[in-house]
Structure 1
């Protein structure tokens, strides 16, 4: 009896918290609609600080920063939204609009077309979505294998077996895709430049020789970290060091 009372108490708390979060999100949206963009930003950021994350939340926050002409935060939040929903056209289009406000126009180094194709497939879904998909496919594999076991005729057995094998292969592919996507994220820690302008250095110290300037909103890959410095790589292949405080990791 105590267990069920405790379970009911926890459920009521979760419902109350969910309603508060929904109310906070609605309030932030109302501020955005009323063109009170700073108020909307404060509200969205408050929701994030509470531990709640969603693609729509990052997208709306990106829109708010975009309206305030804050290029770095706008691009950062659009990128975060795309990490959760990589194929969302609205996220992609708004990111392109925000990128047009950047000072830096970086031409990307040409990569292997086959690698781009494979990477595009594996990153078409987020890591979490690949994981969810693998679970669903695994359950379907088990279901059709059970149906194969209880099928009354040889023809139905063959059909159920073939379908279960197809779902098994699809499950393996989804697991591999999730693993590969996670590995890409781990090996390619990316960040957005938040400072208006940073003069990068050849070594991780302020007195080192200057390399090149980089501006707010530029996306970089962090290759290495040393104390308060990050060795970064720009899309055109240039590498240098800059303060970690001028970056925000994705």
Structure 2
């Protein structure tokens, strides 16, 4: 058995997040996210119109709406409590409040961003990077999140050399990840509708000048739709097939197989991002950007 460790560099100084965990301008956004995310009762047509049944449905829907509203109020209180603890320097309590929100299945980039900052301040590098990555997936174009993530990465022990991307590929990746996936989907639908509207105008218009403008607009919008649609399909495929994770353990030994009896190939450290290729019992097969791969215990990983 032999062991090799990734090349590591010594860091001087300690980076700190550029932005505070909470910006007052974000609370309005967070409030709207709570109210829109609570859900609304859905009324379905029924073949029976008995008064008791209708009354039961109305009461049930009212209770559901009330519960959703109550949950939204609780989430907001926990969010404000977390911000208060953070401003007081009590990062563990702030983390606890933010994590309570995530357990309600409430997904929001501000919560993930605040968690990243709180974990960073609490010297939990792996968890900080994990939640920065989660926040960036929801808003890939957010500069604050990207800058704080890059600052946190400077504290990673392992230095993995990734294949160099060409200029065009780098710009393409930047373009593909400019918008969140749901917004890109909405943009594709909007472009498709606009292209069809322009083509309909081309067919129905009597003015030759208007027909020409509508035809050019339709062709241009359809080209944009195909580009955005292709990007959207590619990103959906990526999210469905590629699973990424962050190393949360201080040090994780990567073995040649999914058992303790296998030899150690190399060691990796907290904060490193890896791709999960497969899982077997309590083990996960991972790969690094430089092509190295092996098996680690799943308890050492945090899935993005």
Q: One fold, TM greater than 0.5?
A: yes
2:156 corresponds to 1:102: yes
Deviations 1:89-130 (A, max 9, x none): 111110111112222122223245544443332222232221
Match for residue 247 of structure 2 among 185, 189, 193: 193
Structure 2 match to 1:173: 227
User: What are the within-5 Å matches in structure 2 for residues 66-215 of structure 1?
Assistant: 66-111=120-165, 113-215=167-269
Task: Provide the secondary structure at the position in 2 that maps to 1:107.
Answer: coil
Match for residue 96 of structure 2 among 27, 42, 53: 42
Aligned-pair distance for 1:6? 6.4
Structure 2 match to 1:62: 116
Which ranges in structure 2 are unaligned for 5 or more consecutive residues?
1-50
Structure 1 match to 2:26: none
Aligned-pair distance for 1:226? 2.3
Q: 1:127 to 1:162 in 2, by over 3 A?
A: same
Aligned-pair distance for 1:14? 4.1
Distance 2:149 2:247 in 1: 15
Structure 2 match to 1:52: 106
Question: Does the aligned pair in 2 maintain the 1:109–1:237 contact within 8 Å?
Answer: no
Distance 1:94 1:45 in 2: 20
The 10-residue stretch of structure 1 (201-210 or 227-236) with the greater mean CA deviation from structure 2? 227-236
**What's the C-alpha RMSD, in Å, of the aligned pairs?**
2.4
The 10-residue stretch of structure 1 (88-97 or 148-157) with the greater mean CA deviation from structure 2? 148-157
Deviations 1:151-170 (A, max 9, x none): 45211122123213322222
Match for residue 272 of structure 2 among 218, 230, 234: 218
Q: 1:140 to 1:63 in 2, by over 3 A?
A: same
Match for residue 293 of structure 2 among 234, 239, 244: 239
Distance 1:86 1:60 in 2: 16
Aligned-pair distance for 1:30? 2.0
Which protein is richer in helix relative to its size? 1
Deviations 1:148-194 (A, max 9, x none): 45545211122123213322222222221111112223333110001
The 10-residue stretch of structure 1 (181-190 or 42-51) with the greater mean CA deviation from structure 2? 181-190
Task: Provide the secondary structure at the position in 2 that maps to 1:236.
Answer: coil
Which ranges in structure 1 are unaligned for 5 or more consecutive residues?
none
Q: 1:101 to 1:13 in 2, by over 3 A?
A: same
Query: With structure 2 as the length reference, what TM-score do the two structures score?
Result: 0.74
Which structure has the greater CA radius of gyration?
Answer: 2
- 1 or 2 for the larger relative contact order (CA 8 Å, sep ≥6)? 2
